[in-house]
Amino acid sequence: MIGPDGSVHLDAMGLTCPLPVLRLQKALRGLPRGTQITLHATDPMTEIDVPHFLHESGHQLIAAKRIADAGPQGLPVFEFIISSAG
């Protein structure tokens, strides 16, 4: 979903590896350089997979945090703020 400021929100909650990263990869395709994407996921593997994917593909991880008990059934939510490499 693209916000009014041009930022993108990607909801990958409930998806398991490798789907959060695959959806992120698809969302990043063709975006202008510097476009901000916020990814929310519940899969704990995203803490490893997302930073690794971003490093390998040249995109920038601006921030990452774990939000305890914020997901469905009290699962933690992993939030990543990403800047597109273009």
pLDDT digits (tens, 9 = 90+) for 67-81: 998 888 889 999 999
Q: What is the DSSP string of 46-77?
A: HHHHHHHHHHHHT-EEEEEEEETT-SGGG--E
Instruction: Summarize pLDDT for 22-57 with one digit per residue, the tens.
Output: 999 999 998 999 999 999 999 999 999 999 999 999
The domain ranges of the chain are 8-83
Residues annotated as catalytic (active site), given as ranges: 17
Instruction: Identify the pLDDT of residue 1.
Output: 62
Asked if residue 51 has a cis previous peptide bond (ω within 30° of 0), the answer is no
Class of domain 8-83: alpha beta
φ, ψ (nearest 5 deg) of residue 12: -115, 20
For residue 86, give every residue at least 6 positions away whose Cβ sits within 8 Å of its Cβ, in sequence order, or none.
Answer: 31, 32, 33, 34, 35
pTM, two decimal places: 0.91
